[in-house]
Structure 1
Amino acid sequence: MNEIINVLTNPDSFFKKKMTERIHFKIPFFIVILNALLGAISGYIMVKAILSSAAVGVGFASIGAIGGALGGFLGVLIVWPIYTAVFYGLSALFGGEGSFKRSLEFVGYGYIPALLNSIFGLYVINQISASLQATAADPAQMAQMLSNDPLMQVATLVGIIFQLWSANIWIFGLKNARNLNLRGALISVGLPVGLLILYSLISYIGGIA
């Protein structure tokens, strides 16, 4: 628990200490797996609610929901090394030195805020799924309903806040893992994360327009 608190409140000090230790994936992998499991549950609930409301049949809705769960689970696992590869590649432009494995380990710790966001997101999806199942509409109409839903809009803003929190952890994780100055780490993480946040904001503005 102390490790979790330290990485959330003082990531630079936390990762400096970690640099003196061997690479261990146990805790970061556990963090990412928890995120993946929550993503799977959210995917299952959301896809089943959408397909059920579209009256496609119970069997097809169940199969689609399983596919949504699998996609939610694998999506989180796949994004972890992708994020690391992007940060790692960009940091090379600033003379970054250090192993990919160390970077992967430290990026895993940055998923702690995402875990908190996943818990909130699961609550939101649970609240929305009941109303979706009670509404007869095609998937395109469902997508529009979701983007206009005030609770989903709040979830988008909350998600951006947690994304920024994760980015802060990743900046200091990359700074230590790749032996960068703060500016190099900030750009290496801030550029891709900033683009993702910009996309989220555009989607949010489109939903409330």
Structure 2
Amino acid sequence: MKTGFLRVLLSPGNFFEERMRTEPGLKVPALIALVIGVIGAVSAALATNLTIGILPADMQGLGGIMVAGVAVAAVIGGFLTWIVVGIVFYLISMIFKGKGSLTRTLEFTGYGFLPQVFGSLIGVVLSYQILSGITVPAATSPEEIVAVTETLTEMLAADPLTSVATLVTVLFLLWSANIWIFGMKYARGLSTRNAALTVGIPVGLYIISLLIPLIGWL
């Protein structure tokens, strides 16, 4: 398994070419999605704990429920992201007359999320560094909650580590995109050019959406 993961990261073309000789399998990609979801749950819990501090004292008892809720949502989100991205690649590849099953497309898309495991771990560390240095005053009215939330949002956006976190996300996303290109090439029987377009269009748009706020704060 370890060797297989290294080949996905470093030699995806050879890895997917060999996988095409076997039956599609979703267990390992689902495991990758689960790990990403769990890591995302940790980040979400950190952010939610900070948000809880804004609430009036009589409402902070709901903190445990809120943390559990966002953690579960993050885990589910890991699976949904995998499925949605795979379907998007499948649909775009239809424009280029791609052939191959949706199951195989989901399988190879899932393997492409492997770099996100490392990116998410770094993101958790950065999130902790960012959030641990912020003290949030408790609010006693809806107006104060709005005001504190706006101030908190501005503080987070202005923190240099937030920009670093965004750049880390982009770098690991580009790594995933490289793997997805090879994945779509074999899963959907595409040329390298068409596979690059299949992956590059949605990934490029998403990267732009990440960088626009960053540029605004530079």
- Structure 2: how far apart are the matches of 1:189 and 1:84? 10
Tell whether 2:189 aligns with 1:179.
Answer: yes
Q: Which runs of 4+ in 1 moved over 6 A?
A: none
Alignment correspondent of 2:7: 6
Q: Give the deviation of 1:59 after TM superposition.
A: 1.4
- Structure 2: how far apart are the matches of 1:67 and 1:206? 32
Alignment correspondent of 1:43: 44
Tell whether 2:163 aligns with 1:162.
Answer: no
Shift of the 7–84 alpha-carbon distance from structure 1 to 2, 3 Å rule, reads: same
- Structure 1: how far apart are the matches of 2:29 and 2:100? 18
SS at match of 1:138: helix
- CA deviation digits over 1:162-206, x for unaligned, max 9? 000001111110110000001111001100000000001102112
- Structure 1: how far apart are the matches of 2:215 and 2:155? 14
AA in 2 matched with 1:140: E
Alignment correspondent of 1:16: 17
- Structure 2: how far apart are the matches of 1:54 and 1:124? 24
- Structure 1: how far apart are the matches of 2:101 and 2:192? 18
- CA deviation digits over 1:6-30, x for unaligned, max 9? 1111111110000001112221111
> Is the deviation greater in 144-153 or in 66-75?
66-75
Alignment of 1:23-38 (within 5 A): 23-38=24-39
Largest Rg, 1 or 2: 2
- Structure 1: how far apart are the matches of 2:52 and 2:99? 48
- Structure 1: how far apart are the matches of 2:56 and 2:163? 26
Q: TM-score, normalised by structure 1?
A: 0.94
* Contact 2:41 2:71 (8 Å CA) reproduced: yes
Tell whether 2:80 aligns with 1:70.
Answer: no
* Contact 2:50 2:136 (8 Å CA) reproduced: no
Q: Give the deviation of 1:114 after TM superposition.
A: 0.5
* Contact 1:8 1:169 (8 Å CA) reproduced: yes
Q: TM-score, normalised by structure 2?
A: 0.90
- Structure 1: how far apart are the matches of 2:53 and 2:132? 10
- Structure 1: how far apart are the matches of 2:103 and 2:190? 16
- CA deviation digits over 1:18-67, x for unaligned, max 9? 00011122211111110000011111111111221454642133332222
* Contact 2:49 2:67 (8 Å CA) reproduced: yes
* Number of aligned residue pairs: 207
Alignment correspondent of 1:106: 108
AA in 2 matched with 1:52: G
- Structure 2: how far apart are the matches of 1:182 and 1:18? 18
> Is the deviation greater in 52-61 or in 161-170?
52-61
User: Identity percentage over the alignment?
Assistant: 37
Match of 1:116 among 112, 115, 118: 118
* Contact 1:167 1:190 (8 Å CA) reproduced: yes
* Contact 2:126 2:165 (8 Å CA) reproduced: yes
- Structure 1: how far apart are the matches of 2:210 and 2:77? 17
Unaligned runs of 5+ residues in structure 1 are none
* Contact 2:109 2:183 (8 Å CA) reproduced: yes
Q: Give the deviation of 1:207 after TM superposition.
A: 2.9
Match of 2:97 among 78, 90, 95: 95
- Structure 2: how far apart are the matches of 1:104 and 1:115? 17
AA in 1 matched with 2:30: F
